[in-house]
Amino acid sequence: MDLTEAMKERRSTRAFLEKPVTREVMERLLYLATQAPSAINLQPWELAVVSGEEKKRLSRLLVKRMKERNISCAPGAKKPLPEAFMDRQRGLLNTIQPHLPEDTVFQEFINEGSCNFYGAPTAVIISMDQVFSSARLTDMGVLVGYLVLAAHGLGLSTCPIGLITAFDEEIKEELSLSDEMQVVIGVAIGYGDPDAPINGGRSERVPLQDVVKWRH
């Protein structure tokens, strides 16, 4: 697949088929993802691949903890968002809400969907050793970009999941990850359901002039 086309076509998927992703396909995907560049070639990431019954147990745990602690997806802003950012957020809501079952609350759908990886058969939990400062989160972002584009090229669908970082300790215990690690993000991976209306929309991107400043 042409890289430019993949960049234009790829979108976050929130309804997956039960079809499992084979070990062979996952190994190919992770090989491609880990070709991502990183500062001084540190490659500060660690990836835990969770599928089958282990993924179901993890999802149940995360949903339970989310409800117990009343944790919700949020933009992570340090102060009230300017209207321009609120408009972008509303764009996503308007893309998803029409395809939700009647009486389904958007925020509840996002919260529970995030914690069960939207039903994807596989989740990749991406962690970083806490020996590194937050500066290395830049490398993690590049890795995720490689991962979701490589997945699209392999015929897979993905959805990055940020909410799970609220359950860092629970995830590390459940997956036997080192205490020295910090959970940075999760990615739901599988085959998108082509018949699910929620997978048909894509929130609009803002015009270049709104986010690009030229200096000559």
Burial pattern 144-182, b for ≥16 Cβ within 10 A else e, equals bebbbbbbbbeebbbbbbebbebbeebbbebbebeeebb
Q: What's the rounded mean pLDDT across residues 59-75?
A: 93
Q: Where are the domains of the chain?
A: 3-195
Tokens read off for 25: 């396909």
Whole-angstrom distance, CA of residue 60 vs CA of residue 91 = 30
Question: Tell me: the pLDDT tens digits for 9-23?
Answer: 999 999 999 999 999
Amino acid type, 40 = I
State residue 160's pLDDT score.
98
In this structure, the chain runs to a length of 216
Phi and psi angles of residue 10, each rounded to the nearest 5 degrees, phi first: -60, 135
Kindly tell me if the per-residue pLDDT of 33 is higher than 80.
yes
CA 56 to chain centre: 17
Q: What is the mean pLDDT of the chain?
A: 94
Residue 93's CB is within 10 A of a number of other CB atoms, namely 13
Residue 24: Cβ-neighbour burial (10 angstroms; 0-12, 13-18, 19+): exposed
Domain 3-195 classification at class level? alpha beta
- Computed on alpha carbons and rounded to an integer, the radius of gyration of the chain in Å comes to 18
Residue for token digits 């995907």?
A: 29
| pLDDT bracket for residue 101 (50, 70, 90) | confident
Phi and psi angles of residue 93, each rounded to the nearest 5 degrees, phi first: -60, -45
**pTM over the 0.85 mark:** yes
Question: Tell me: the pLDDT tens digits for 104-155?
Answer: 899 999 999 999 999 999 999 999 999 999 999 999 999 999 999 999 999 9
